[in-house]
Amino acid sequence: MASTGEWFETVAEAQRRARRRLPKSVYMALVAGSERGITTEDNVAAFSELGFRPRIADLPQERSQTTTVMGQEIAFPVVISPTGVQAVDPEGEVAVARAAAGAGTAMGLSSFASRAVEDVAAANDKLFFQMYWVGTRERILQRAERAKAAGAKGLIVTLDWSFANGRDWGSPMIPEKLDLKAMLRFAPEGVLRPRYLAGWLKHGKLPDLTTPNLAAPGEPAPTFFGAYGEWMGTPLPTWEDIAWLRQEWGGPFAVKGITHPDDARRAVDAGATAISVSNHGGNNLDGTPAAIRLLPAVVDAVGDQVEVLMDGGIRRGGDVVKALALGARAVLIGRAYLWGMAANGEAGVANVLQILRQGIDSALLGLGRSSIHELSRDDLVIPPDFTRSWKG
């Protein structure tokens, strides 16, 4: 566990520490976003527009947060969203998996992750494996089957990616691999962040920037860019492809990246168990409204047929409660846990999860609700046109 001095009380503080500790290029890779950053900003800002309607007496002594997502029982309605980041911490996704398991919740593992699905599943058996549509049907199935054999309980297919890569604030330079040339180029950043560098050297390695879960059987893991190239060269999937994969997989199946209610219906038709209303944390098509604005129309369209999750902009427990009041079953978090991991490794991820859980509890108490399942739109003050006239 962290010493008391390492403890932080908000996600904003975790982000400040992450900024101080990480080399600039790694920090910027987590900030991410695309184009002008309109969507990334709105994802967070929109939560501030929603108000609460608190109560002050006859409040519930006990508050319950347990629920299930894709068949997995979780202690509170926050799940780790899959993120493909390579260089934040030497333990990487295994540390995240341990922290999530310790907190009693589930994790999505990116196929672009730095640690093998077998190692991550050993640390948290409530694991969902996330895939993009990369390569042939045969290769896609091989990867899914490997994840299943490792113990993954569900499959998440992320569909919202349009290969936009420009950012007005600049993209970090990411080397193809950390060879001598790249190390010399990045050396000044390492020198400026000695603690980060020491963490890696203690593990006897530097980030290797490979994607072990995308390796073909018997082949070495491709580099991040090698895998990205394969993805760019893959014909784009149809709903028929998605229905095929869902059929082959057989178990709980989620489609991540839904914004349009019609796509939500198509995902249901394809047999999805869950969908996540998401704009990829603002990393996809800039100008898409905040995910929380798009949630109500999707809930109205398919909320009784599929588990509706959402992700994007969650930074505190109150945000989670707002999303649940608007109809989400649970939320996924991305940057919040990445800041925690950058600030203090596994303990930092646990710290973030605890902040969210306590924040949910406080909001339930303030609203006079004894369970997350009692939350409804009546708990919120929703300004006119919060949803930007987004229609089902």
- List, in order, residues 6 or more apart from 354 with CB less than 8 Å away: 103
CA distances from 115 to 14, 86, 139, 221, 287 (A): 23, 9, 19, 11, 33
Give least dist CB 47 to ligand FMN, A.
10
Is 30 or 328 the residue whose CB approaches ligand FMN more closely? 30
What is the SS3 assignment for the chain? Answer: CCCHHHCCCCHHHHHHHHHHHCCHHHHHHHHCCCECCHHHHHHHHHHHHCEECCCCCCCCCCCECCEEECCEEECCCEEECCCCCCCCCCCHHHHHHHHHHHHCCCEEEECCCCCCHHHHHHHCCCEEEEECCCCCHHHHHHHHHHHHHHCCCEEEEECCCCCCCCECCCCCCCCCCCCHHHHHHHHHHHHHCHHHHHHHHHCCCCCCCECHHHCCCCCCCCEHHHHHHHHHCCCCCCHHHHHHHHHHHCCCEEEEEECCHHHHHHHHHCCCCEEEECCHHHCCCCCCCCHHHHHHHHHHHHCCCCEEEEECCCCCHHHHHHHHHCCCCEEEECHHHHHHHHHHHHHHHHHHHHHHHHHHHHHHHHHCCCEHHHCCHHHEECCCCCCCCCCC
83 appears as a binding residue in the annotation: yes
61 appears as a binding residue in the annotation: no
84 binds ligand FMN per the rule CB under 6 A: yes
Which of 130, 210, 344, 387 is in the footprint of ligand FMN by CB under 6 A? 130
Is 23 or 84 the residue whose CB approaches ligand FMN more closely? 84
280 binds ligand FMN per the rule CB under 6 A: yes
Quote the CA–CA distance of 324 and 377 in Å, as a whole number: 9
315 appears as a binding residue in the annotation: yes
375 binds ligand FMN per the rule CB under 6 A: no
Footprint of ligand FMN on 239-268 (CB under 6 A): 256
317 appears as a binding residue in the annotation: no
Residue with token string 């046109």? 385
Q: Interface with ligand FMN by CB under 6 A: which range of 27-35, 62-70, 350-358, 374-382?
A: 27-35
Residue 280 is among the residues annotated as catalytic for this protein: yes
Q: Interface with ligand FMN by CB under 6 A: which range of 47-55, 162-170, 219-227, 329-337?
A: 329-337
159 binds ligand FMN per the rule CB under 6 A: no
Q: Interface with ligand FMN by CB under 6 A: which range of 247-255, 263-271, 300-308, 312-320?
A: 312-320
Q: Interface with ligand FMN by CB under 6 A: which range of 69-77, 216-224, 242-250, 311-319?
A: 311-319
Which of 8, 46, 77, 82 is in the footprint of ligand FMN by CB under 6 A? 82
Which of 15, 34, 67, 158 is in the footprint of ligand FMN by CB under 6 A? 158
281 binds ligand FMN per the rule CB under 6 A: yes
256 appears as a binding residue in the annotation: yes
Size of the site for ligand FMN (CB under 6 A): 26
312 binds ligand FMN per the rule CB under 6 A: yes
81 binds ligand FMN per the rule CB under 6 A: yes
Footprint of ligand FMN on 342-371 (CB under 6 A): none
384 appears as a binding residue in the annotation: no
Quote the CA–CA distance of 105 and 384 in Å, as a whole number: 35
Give least dist CB 100 to ligand FMN, A.
14
314 appears as a binding residue in the annotation: yes
Is 123 or 134 the residue whose CB approaches ligand FMN more closely? 134
Residues 162 and 155 sit within 8 Å (Cβ to Cβ): no
Which of 18, 28, 32, 106 is in the footprint of ligand FMN by CB under 6 A? 32
Q: Which residues bind ligand FMN (CB under 6 A)?
A: 29-30, 32, 43, 81-85, 110, 112, 130, 158, 256, 278, 280-281, 283, 311-314, 333-336
| Catalytic residue ranges | 280
Annotated binding site for glyoxylate: 132, 167, 280
Annotated binding site for FMN: 82-84, 110, 130, 158, 256, 278, 311-315, 334-335
